[in-house]
Structure 1
Amino acid sequence: MPVTRNTSDILLVAVNARYSHCAFAPRSLIANLGPLAPRAGLLECDLEITPLQLAERIAARSPRVVGFSVYLWNVRLIEATARLLRVVDSGMRLAAGGPELTADYPHADLFDTVIVGEGESAFRAFCETVLTDGGDFPLSSVLINQTGEALASLALPYDRYTDTDLAQRTVYVETSRGCPFSCAYCTSAGTGLRLIPLLRLLPAFDELWRRGLRRFKFLDRSFNAPTEHACAVLDFFRSRVTEDTCLHVEIQPDRLHPDVLSRLAAFPAGTLHLEVGIQTLTPHVAARIGRSPDTARTLETLRVLTRETGATVHADLIFGLPGEDEVAFARGFNTLVTVCDPPEVQVNWLKVLPGTRFAREAQRIGLAFNPEPPYELLRSDAMDFATLSRIQRFARCWELVHNRGHFSEACLRLHALAGGDFYACYQALADHLCAAEGKLFAISRPRLAALLDDFLARPLPRPDHPSPESPLSS
C-alpha cells in the first residue's frame, strides 16, 4: 500500500483486528478536540501491518502528536512501533489510551502520556499543551479519568464515519458508557452506567440512517439497562426497520424487563443479533465472579429470546472460572443446549485481563495465566492446563461444526447421537478430527464433511460427563 503524504499536526492511529471494523474511539477523540479538530487526522490499518510499515506511514504524515488506541490484539505491535518512532523523530509526542492500559502499565515509558479510562478530555488537554502552549508533558505521565466524561456535552463522532465506512464496514455506536455490574473478569467492572441523552443520541442515529447505515453494532456493555432508555432506542429502530437492518446488541439476561422483551419480539426475523452473556450456569461460581446466581431465570430468559423472538441469539460461556471444574462446565453446557438450543454458543477460554479483579487477586485465588496478550488462563483452582487444553479443543470443534452453520443435517444427527451429553459428543468428535488431521484448523469443508460422516458411522464413546438432567451444581 502506498504511503499517504498528507500531513496532520495530530494523528490518531487505530490498528483494527480486521479492516472491516471501524474504530470508534479515535473518531470520538477527534470529535472532541474542539478548535484543534481540523488539525487532526486518522490513520487506520489492520494487523497485517508490521511495526516498521506503521512507523513509516505515521512519519510520512509529519505529526507533532500521535495518539494510539491500544487493545489486547494490537498492544505489542503498537509498543514496537513506538520504539521505532522514538528513533525516527524524538520530537514527536506519543500518547496512548484504551482498555489495555492500566495505572501500572509496565511500558508507560514508551509514551509521553498514558491515558487510563475515557480519554476525550485528557487527550485534548495533552494536545493543547503540546500545540498551543508549546509545553512538554513529563515522560511517563499517566492520566487517570476515574469519573468518565460528561456525556451530556460530549461531542458525538458519527459525522467522522465516511460514506464508504457506512456502506462497507462494521460501524460502532453507543448509547451508554460504563457498566452497572462488577464481573471479576471484565475491564468495565464497577465503572457505573451513564447514559447519553436521547435528545442528542436519536437525531445522530437518524442522520446515520439517512446516510444509508443499516447495520449498527452497539458498544454498550448492558444495552437493556435501564429499561426506559433501551425501549426508546428500540422504538426508534422499530419504526424504521427494513429487511436489511441489523442491530447487534449485548443483553444482560437476568435483568431483561418485559417491556424490552416485547419490543425485541416485534422486530422482523433476522434484524436483531443478540449477544447474551451467560458465562456460567454453576450458581456458586456465578456468585463468586459477580454474576447473578439465579441460573433458572437466566435460562428462562434465554429460552424466551430464542423461541419467541426472531433474533439471532449468541450465548457466551467461559471455561476456567475459579471453582468450576470440567464436570460442572460440561453440565452447564449440556443444560444450555438442551433448554435453549441457541443458534450459537461461544465457548471462551478465560482471559485474565490487566486491571480486572481476577488479575489483582490471581495469586490468592489460584489463577496462573500467560503474562503476554491475550492472557489465557494456564491453571485455576479447579482445572489444570491439560484440562483447559482439552476443553479448548472441544470449543474449536463446536465452533467449526455447529456455530458456523455449514453442517445443519450432521448437527441434527450428532445431537440425536449425543443423548443429551453434547459436551461428550463434541469432545469425542474433536478427538476424532485430531486423530485424523493432527489439528483443528485449516480443514477444508469437504474434508470436514467426510470426517463427520465417518464419525457418525461409529459408536459414540461415553465419557463420564453429567447429562443435562443432572441438577446444576450449587
Structure 2
Amino acid sequence: MVLLVGINAKYIHTTLAVRSLQANAGKYRKDVEIAEYTINHRREEIFQDIYRRKPEAVGFSCYLWNIEYVMGLAGDLKKVLPNLFLFFGGPEVSYHPEEVLAKYEYADLVMVGEGERTFQEFMAYFVDGDREISSIDGIVYRGISGLHRTKPRQGLDMDDLVYPYDDMETLKNRIIYYESMRGCPFSCSYCLSSIEKSVRIKSPEKTERELDFFLENKVPQVKFVDRTFNCNHAYAYRIWKYIGEHDNGVTNFHFEIGGDLLHEEDFLLFDTFRPGLVQFEIGVQSTNPDTLKAIRRTADWDLLQKNVARIHARGNIHQHLDLIAGLPYEDFNTFKKSFCDVYAMKPDQFQLGFLKVLDGSFMNEKRNDYEIQASSLPPYEIFSTKWLSYEDVLSLKGVEEMVEVYYNSFQFAASMIYLERLFKDAYCLYEELAKEYEEKHLFERKINRRERYEVLYAFGKKHVPETDAGNWQEIITYDWYRRDFAKEKPTFVKPDSETQKREIRAFFDRECETHGYLPGYEGYVTRQLYHMVYLGEYTVDIQRLLKDGTLQKREPYYILFDYKNRNPLNYAAAERILTMDEFTGTP
C-alpha cells in the first residue's frame, strides 16, 4: 500500500494535492490510501498512526507551513520502517529537488511540478515493476550511482484530470479546494505561479459538472485555487452565471480575481447574487508605481478602485484585499500610503502580508540587488530590505495584528470609523493602537473579546474630545451588541434604568401578540425574548456613521438587534430601527 499524507495548517483545511494524485492513479487507485493531519497534532500521534498502517511507500505534500514538520516526521519513520520508500512533492521541494535529496538522506524521490501523471507512472514502477524508474518524467531520484533527474513533465490537458471528490461525509464542515485552471497570466516576481507561463483551463462543461457535486452536497465553502480566475472573461462569466442559476442557498464560492479585469456584464450578473454566494480575493500588493513595475505586476489602479467600490456598494459580495510589505522600492512611507489607499476602499477583509523569498522565484534571484535579509527557515519571511529596516518591519507587524483584531473581525466597525476621524490617517490610528498594546504588554498574552473592547474604549478615551465622550460610549456599545448579547458586559455599557426595563418588557409583551418586528420568534414569551434579542437606545446616527463616516446626532431612537438572523458577510445581527413612538407603541 502507498500512503499519501497531507498535513494541513488547520483542521478546517483539506489537501487537494493528495486527493488528486489518488483520483488520477488509474488502475492503482485501490493501492493508494490518504491520511490527513494538521500541524497542531502531536507529531508522535501522526508517527504512530502512519506506522500502524504499515505502508510500503509514503508520499508527502510539502508546503511552507509544513515542510519542517514533514521532514522531521519522515526521518523518524525511516528509523522504524527502514525499507519504507519516501517520496515528496509540492512547491516546497519542486524547485530544488537535488538539494532536498542531498540534505535528507532518507528521502528517495522528489516529484517535480504537477504530479498526477508522474504518480500514476510511479505506481506502475513501484507496484507492478512495469517500467524503469528512469523512464518516469518529472522526477529526481536517488540511484546507486547518485542522484538522477529525468526530463521535465509536460502539463496535462485539464479535462483529462479525474475529479478528486467522491465522498463528502469525511469532509463535513471543512473548506473544499477546487482547481479549474493551472498557471497564471502574470509574472509577479515574488510568486511561484509565474514560472508556468501558460494558462490551462478546464472546459466549462467539465467545471459545471464537477461543481454540481458540491452544490448537491451543500458544501459550506468551495475555494477555487486558480490564480486570477477571470483572466479568461468568457470562462469566468459562464461559471459565475452557472453558480448563480444553481445556487443552493448554502454554498459559498471563493475566487481570486483581477479587480481591474471585470466587465460591465459581470456587475449586472453580480446584482442577482444572493449575499454570501461568492467572495472575491484581490491582490493589490502595492499602490506604488515603482514597486509594481519592479515586481512585474500590471494593473489599472483607477479602474480597480472603481470596480471595488461598485462591488462594495451592492453589499452582497465579500471582498478580501491584500498588501505585501517588503517589496522592492517600497519604504515605510510609501507602504503607509499603500495602506491608506487600500483601507479607503473599505474591503471586508484587509490582509497585510510580508514578503516571502521563495526558492525558484525571480525575487530570490534579486535578493542581493535588493539587499534582502530573510529568514533561512520557512516561510522565509523578510527581516529587512534596501528600503525597509527591521525596525520598520516590527512596526508593521504591530499594525498587522491590530488590523486583524479591530478591522477584520467585523466587531468594531463603527468604533474604528469614528476613531479614524481623530487621527491623521487610518494607518496612524492602527499604529497608535499597536503602541498601546506594546506599552501594556498586551501582545504577550491572550485577550478575550470583552477585554478587546475595554482596551479600545480606554484607548479612545485618551483621544476623544471631552465633549464627545458620550458619543464614543454609545458607538462602542453599539459595536458590542451588534455581534452578540453577552451576559458579561464591559464597564462602558450603561445599565438600563428601571423605566427602560419596564418599557422594554412592554415592547416584548406587544411583540408576542403582534409579531411585527421579530419574524421567526413566534411562540416565545417576553421572558425569553428579553434574553434572546437586545434593545438599545441611541442618539448618535449610527447608520450615517457607518455609511459615510459622518458623526451626527438625532432624536433618541432604539435599535433592535436580532441574533437569529445575521448578515452572511460579517455575521452581524440583523437590525431594526425603531422610533420612540414605535418603541413605546404610541399610535
TM-score computed with the length of structure 1 as normaliser: 0.90
CA contact (8 A) 1:176 1:195 kept: yes
Residue 433 of structure 1, aligned match among 437, 460, 468: 437
Instruction: Tell me what 1:443 maps to.
Output: 447
Q: CA RMSD in A?
A: 1.9
Alignment-derived partner of residue 113 in structure 2: 117
TM-superposed CA distance for 1:246, in Å, is 0.9
1:237 maps to which residue? Answer: 243
Task: Give 2:418's match in structure 1, choosing from 406, 413, 418.
Answer: 413
What's the CA shift string for 1:104-141, capped at 9, x where partnerless? 24322432111121111112222221111186653555
361, 365, 381: which one aligns with 2:386:
381
Cross-structure match for 1:397: 402
Within the candidate set 6, 20, 26, 1:14 is matched to 6
Q: Which runs of 5+ in 1 are unaligned?
A: 1-8, 461-474
Contact 2:101/2:109 (8 A) holds in 1: yes
Cα displacement string for residues 11-38 of structure 1 (whole angstroms, at most 9, x for unaligned residues): 1100011111121110000011100001
Taking the aligned partners of 1:425 and 1:320, their CA distance within structure 2 comes to: 21
- The correspondence for 1:273, drawn from 276, 279, 287, is 279
CA offsets 1:387-408 (integer angstroms, 9 cap, x no match)? 0111111111111111111222
Taking the aligned partners of 1:142 and 1:417, their CA distance within structure 2 comes to 61
Matched, 1:53 2:53: no
* Rounded Cα–Cα distance in structure 2 between residues aligned with 1:359 and 1:254: 28
Q: Following the alignment from structure 1 to structure 2, what is the Cα–Cα distance between the partners of residues 321 and 42?
A: 38
Q: How far apart, in 2, do the equivalents of 1:428 and 1:63 lie?
A: 55
Deviates more, 1:251-260 or 1:168-177: 251-260
Which residue in the other structure is 1:471 paired with?
Answer: none
Distance 1:65 1:457, change over 3 A: same
Of the structure 1 ranges 322-331 and 356-365, higher mean CA displacement relative to structure 2 is found in: 356-365
Following superposition, the deviation at residue 252 of structure 1 comes to 1.2
The aligned amino acid for 2:295 is I
SS of match in other structure, 2:91: coil
Paired position in structure 1 for 2:159 = 152
Q: Aligned to 1:44, what secondary structure does the other structure show? A: strand
**CA distance in structure 2 between the aligned counterparts of 1:275 and 1:286, rounded to whole angstroms:** 18
Q: After TM superposition, give the deviation of residue 209 of structure 1 in Å.
A: 1.8
Map 1:302-341; keep pairs closer than 5 Å.
302-308=308-314, 310-338=316-344, 340-341=345-346
Deviation digits for residues 346-397 of structure 1, max 9, x if unmatched?
Answer: 1111111222111122112221110101111011110011101111111111
- 1:437 Cα deviation (Å)? 2.7
Counterpart secondary structure, 2:253: strand
Report 1 or 2 for greater relative contact order, CA contacts < 8 Å, sequence distance ≥ 6: 1
Deviation of 1:333 (Å): 1.2
Question: Which of 126, 133, 144 is equivalent to 2:129?
Answer: 133
Q: CA deviation at 1:53?
A: 3.0
For residues 262 and 115 of structure 1, do their structure 2 counterparts lie closer, same or farther at Cα, with a shift above 3 Å needed?
farther
Within the candidate set 357, 360, 370, 1:352 is matched to 357
Q: 259-268 vs 380-389, which deviates more?
A: 259-268
Alignment of 1:170 with 2:166, yes or no, is no
Q: Distance in 2 between matches of 1:377 and 1:144?
A: 34
Following superposition, the deviation at residue 304 of structure 1 comes to 2.0
Q: Deviations over 1:165-214 (max 9, x none)?
A: 1x321111121111111111111014121101222221121123223324
Asked whether the equivalents of residues 283 and 294 of structure 1 are also in contact (C-alpha less than 8 Å), the reply is no
Q: Indicate conservation of the 8 Å contact 2:4/2:33, yes or no.
A: yes
The superposition leaves residues 424-444 of structure 1 with CA deviations (integer Å, 9 ceiling, x where unpaired) of 111011101111134165222
The alpha carbon displacement at 1:277 in A equals 0.7
Q: How does 1:191-270 map to 2 (within 5 A)?
A: 191=196, 192-270=198-276
Assess, with a 3 A threshold, how the Cα gap between structure 1 residues 410 and 142 changes in structure 2: closer, same or farther. farther
Unmatched 5+ stretches in structure 2: 134-140, 465-587
SS in 1 for 2:416: helix
1:63 matches 2:63:
no
Q: Would the aligned equivalents of 1:314 and 1:343 in 2 still touch at CA under 8 Å?
A: yes
CA–CA distance in structure 2, aligned partners of residues 347 and 441 of structure 1: 22
Q: 1:32-72: CA deviations, max 9, x gaps? A: 11000011110011112244432322121111121111111
The one-letter code matched in structure 2 to 1:75 is I
Whole-Å Cα distance in 1 between the matches of residues 222 and 359 of structure 2? 29
CA distance in 2, matches of 1:142, 1:297: 46
8 Å CA contact 2:173–2:219 kept in 1: the answer is no
User: Structure 1 residue 412: deviation in Å?
Assistant: 2.3
More divergent stretch after superposition (97-106 vs 450-459): 97-106
Rounded to whole Å, the distance in 2 between the matches of 1:389 and 1:316 is 19
CA deviations 1:300-320 (Å, max 9, x no partner) are: 222222223510111001111
Asked if the contact 2:221/2:251 (under 8 Å) is kept, the reply is yes
Structure 1 residues 199 and 145 mapped into 2: Cα distance closer, same or farther (>3 Å)?
farther
Question: Is the CA contact (8 Å cut-off) linking 2:406 and 2:412 kept in structure 1?
Answer: yes
Structure 1 residue 107 corresponds to structure 2 residue 100: yes
Contact 2:254-2:281 at 8 Å conserved across structures: yes
2:83 alignment partner AA: G
1:455 pairs with one of 449, 453, 459: 459
With normalisation by structure 2, the TM-score equals 0.73
Distance in 2, Cα, partners of 1:336 & 1:422: 10
Q: Which moved more, 1:77-86 or 1:360-369?
A: 360-369
